[in-house]
Amino acid sequence: MKKKLLIVTATAMLGLVACGAGNQDVIPSGGEKVENDVAVKKLGAAVTKTTTGKGLSVEAKSFALRAKVEMNAPSLDINTDIPNFSDFLAGSTATAQAGVKWETMSVNAEVKNVTFKAAVAGLDGRSTNDLKASLNFAETHSFNVNGAGSSIDSNATLKANAYVANTTAYLDLSDEATFNALKDLGMQLPFKAAGKYGMSAQAQTFDGPVGESMIESVPMVGQFLDEEYLEQLVSQSEGMVSAVKYSDTRFGVKAEMGLDKILPMMAGAMGGMAEIGGGAAAIDMSMLDENDKFDLRAGMVFDTEKGLESIAFTLNAKLDVTAKEIFGAESGLSAEDLNKKVYSVDASADIRFEFKVGEVTVNLPANFNDYEVSKTQADDGREEEGGEINYSDLLA
């Protein structure tokens, strides 16, 4: 349970730094500024073009992540005579110096040398039997998490390949080091050992392009085909999102987030620290100085006639907030505790994906004779025609 809490909290902390530091902007320069709702509503058309063409490929052109995050939650020793933590925050100084202790969660992570190439053909077909896909992935990482009475330490190079052909999904997880590293990271793998595995399913037929049915079944992605959802998205992103239209049929949408937007998110993340040590107070802009910075940018370029073109994230963040800045010099904390960093973030990221829609190359093995293939149950509720298939089942 402690390890699960550790993973969940670490993921939440990295969520503040991993989604997005390079000098290149997230969308091309130029273009004419347009209203956000004009561009965002066009996104549905681009997604449709992307998923109903002959094929789609995605490649990571850049993927570099470095993050050092530490969060310290103050709590009171139960042996002190301060009735409760709220009294301490309200100004009680009776035995604060003796009674305060700190619970720490820290994450140190670096991801580099990433290879990510995926391609799928047959999206314009009417049957899952038309689909062919390949995915090649490799990366080198160092990942250390400490807190909640547990720790995770992983330094490894991961590599894996996946394929889809003849309504069968294949996973090449034969690299022993990769298999062991995934287990060390706490992943629940459905396989007992490294190897090559596959799962077959009955062919499904659809009235429209199979790619459109696939995208609608993917959580969140299918929402970008819903005009009402897009209108709500635009209204909630005021002040963070800008859009441009280029001289052709392309649009660029960029979201930017600074300290004024990220601080409420950090306060929410501290809620997870309550299970570790009682939580810490929120911070506001008045507690920051000129050395604190947070610049997160996300951008998407799409063509209403050709589909998605690129998605990019960049981040440059450095943030240090001490207990003195949060609780004040008269809180009763010792000089050492006043200098304790309640929040510390030092992170950068540059992540860029490029898309190609149309004719793509799917690299499949000559055969799959060395894969251990299992079949889905015949009575699992799938229908041979017009039914709905849960594509995640293929790799479950």
pLDDT-based confidence at residue 390 (cuts at 50, 70, 90)? very low
**Residue of higher predicted confidence among 157 and 14:** 157
**Residue of higher predicted confidence among 50 and 219:** 50
pLDDT per residue as tens digits for the range 168-190: 999 999 999 999 988 887 788 88
First to last CA, the chain: 23
Counting beta carbons within 10 angstroms of the beta carbon of residue 113, is it exposed (0 to 12), middle (13 to 18) or buried (19 or more)?
Answer: exposed
pLDDT per residue as tens digits for the range 283-332: 666 777 778 888 999 999 999 999 999 999 999 999 888 888 877 777 77
User: Is residue 244 pLDDT above 80, yes or no?
Assistant: yes
Angle between helices 36-52 and 210-217 (to 10 degrees): 130
Alpha carbon 157 to its chain centroid, in Å, reads 20
How high is the pLDDT of residue 265?
Answer: 63
Q: Is 23 helix (H, G, I), strand (E, B) or coil?
A: coil
How high is the pLDDT of residue 287?
Answer: 74
Average pLDDT over residues 333-352: 87
Alpha carbon 76 to its chain centroid, in Å, reads 34
What distance in Å separates the CA atoms of residue 14 and residue 206, rounded to the nearest whole number? Answer: 40
**Domains of the chain: total:** 1
CB atoms within 10 A of CB 158: 20
How high is the pLDDT of residue 319?
Answer: 86
Q: Compute the mean pLDDT over every residue in the chain, rounded to the nearest whole number.
A: 77
Alpha carbon 36 to its chain centroid, in Å, reads 24
Length of the chain: 396
Counting beta carbons within 10 angstroms of the beta carbon of residue 37, is it exposed (0 to 12), middle (13 to 18) or buried (19 or more)?
Answer: middle
CA-closest candidate to residue 80, choices 56, 101, 57: 101
**Residue of higher predicted confidence among 389 and 346:** 346
Q: Which amino acid appears at position 375 of this protein?
A: K
**% pLDDT > 70, the chain:** 71
**280 contacts: CB under 8 Å, gap ≥ 6:** 71, 72, 73, 74, 270, 273, 326, 342, 343
Whole-model pTM: value is 0.75
H-assigned helices in the chain: 2-15, 36-52, 85-90, 96-99, 176-184, 210-217, 227-236, 259-269, 274-277, 323-327, 335-338
How high is the pLDDT of residue 37?
Answer: 81
**% pLDDT > 90, the chain:** 36
How high is the pLDDT of residue 199?
Answer: 92
Structure tokens at 384: 């041979």
Lowest mean pLDDT among 68-72, 229-233, 330-334: 229-233
> Is 174 in contact with 196 (CB distance < 8 Å)?
yes
How high is the pLDDT of residue 38?
Answer: 85
User: Is residue 238 pLDDT above 60, yes or no?
Assistant: yes
CA-closest candidate to residue 261, choices 294, 290, 232, 229: 294
Q: Is 286 helix (H, G, I), strand (E, B) or coil?
A: helix
Range of the domain at 274: 2-395
**Residue of higher predicted confidence among 379 and 192:** 192
User: Is residue 278 pLDDT above 50, yes or no?
Assistant: no
Average pLDDT over residues 116-124: 93
Q: Is 272 helix (H, G, I), strand (E, B) or coil?
A: helix
Q: Which residue has the tokens 């929040």?
A: 343
CB atoms within 10 A of CB 361: 11
Q: Is 299 helix (H, G, I), strand (E, B) or coil?
A: strand
**Residue of higher predicted confidence among 12 and 356:** 356
pLDDT-based confidence at residue 24 (cuts at 50, 70, 90)? low
Angle subtended at Cα 80 by Cα 75 and Cα 86, rounded to the nearest 5 degrees: 45
CA-closest candidate to residue 49, choices 309, 356, 307: 307
How high is the pLDDT of residue 213?
Answer: 78
The DSSP call for residue 238 is: T
CA-closest candidate to residue 297, choices 352, 234, 232, 355: 352
Structure tokens at 279: 């939580």
**Residue of higher predicted confidence among 348 and 269:** 348
Average pLDDT over residues 28-36: 92
